[in-house]
Structure 1
Amino acid sequence: MTMSAQPQAVFKATREVPGAVQGGVKVLLRLEGLALLAGAVTFYALFGSSWLLFALLFFAPDLSFAGYLLGPRLGAAIYNAVHITILPGALLALGLVLEDPLATALATIWLGHIGFDRALGYGLKYQDGFGFTHLGRIGRAGAHPSS
């Protein structure tokens, strides 16, 4: 019996994604996303930046979805790089330390977007496809698993 160099998609027959959270933990992570969104919007409002800028850029991180044109492995890596809190958190810290209002505003919008996605159940992606996330399956794949 030989092992394939590439992992095979193993999620097709069930709604559950190995490694995805379930039950109460999933609810907590989604509520955490909602809290991140609420905190980002509140901070943005207190900071006094342009709401037009917020509206124009709120969904900009989703442009990383185009990475899936290069295949699911690279697509997931690009999408995840843009949808983890590390980069906008670092940008926010830098913006605050340097007193740079644009960097602070961009980071806050970015964090708000990530919180919004998590609250809706859109998690970090596995390389098996866009619908396979750490918060479970999404889209048609989550509603109607194929056999």
Structure 2
Amino acid sequence: MSTSTSTTSRRPSATLVVRRTAWLANALFWSAFAVLEAVNHGWLAGTLALVFLVLPDLTFLVALDDAPRMAKGQLAPRAVPYYNAMHRALVPLALLVGYAVQPYFAWAPAFAALCGWLAHISYDRAFGYGLRTKEGFQRG
């Protein structure tokens, strides 16, 4: 009598593994760049990189009073727009392009902050966290 259980349904697809590995490499790149900026440009650059590494998850505080009424893993619907805005990679990437193109944006602590923000988003994607539905659950 064999009681074999199939683990194939629990294994992530090869595409998912490659995607998450790419996000992790991206996260490590932006983290290293943030550290480099902090070393080269001082405590303010390092502080802003750390603040922006944590800042996107502070959007949970927008609806902290609703948290007890939410299902497990659900974000309060009124916090979702803030959460999603802070977790879209295109936002800091667009600001990074602006930083590179406009000479009056050339302030190293701002660049370090953008590196921290991109590192946060990349770590989230690497570990399976993405944008939320309007009801507050993780997408796909």
Bin the TM-score by the shorter chain: 0.5 to 0.7
Amino acid in structure 2 at the alignment position of 1:104: F
Q: Which residue of 2 aligns with 1:39?
A: 29
Instruction: Name the SS for the 1:38 alignment partner.
Output: helix
| Cα pair 1:95 1:102 within 8 Å, conserved | no
Amino acid in structure 2 at the alignment position of 1:59: V
Structure-2 change in CA distance of 1:24 and 1:74 (3 Å) = farther
Q: Distance in 1 between matches of 2:58 and 2:19?
A: 23
Structure-2 change in CA distance of 1:124 and 1:118 (3 Å) = same
Deviation for aligned residue 1:125: 1.1
TM-score by length of 2: 0.65
Instruction: Name the SS for the 2:109 alignment partner.
Output: helix
Q: Distance in 1 between matches of 2:110 and 2:19?
A: 27
Equivalent runs, 1:127-138 vs 2, <5 Å:
127-130=134-137, 132-134=138-140
TM-score by length of 1: 0.62
Structure 1 residue runs without a partner (length 5+):
1-21, 135-147
Q: Could you say which structure has the larger radius of gyration?
A: 2
Q: Which residue of 2 aligns with 1:117?
A: 124
* Structure with greater helix share of residues: 2
Select the residue among 40, 55, 60 that pairs with 1:60: 55
Instruction: Name the SS for the 1:59 alignment partner.
Output: helix
* Cα root mean square deviation, aligned: 2.4
Deviation for aligned residue 1:32: 2.2
Identity of aligned residues (%): 32
Structure-2 change in CA distance of 1:65 and 1:46 (3 Å) = same
Amino acid in structure 2 at the alignment position of 1:92: L
Deviates more, 1:43-52 or 1:113-122: 43-52
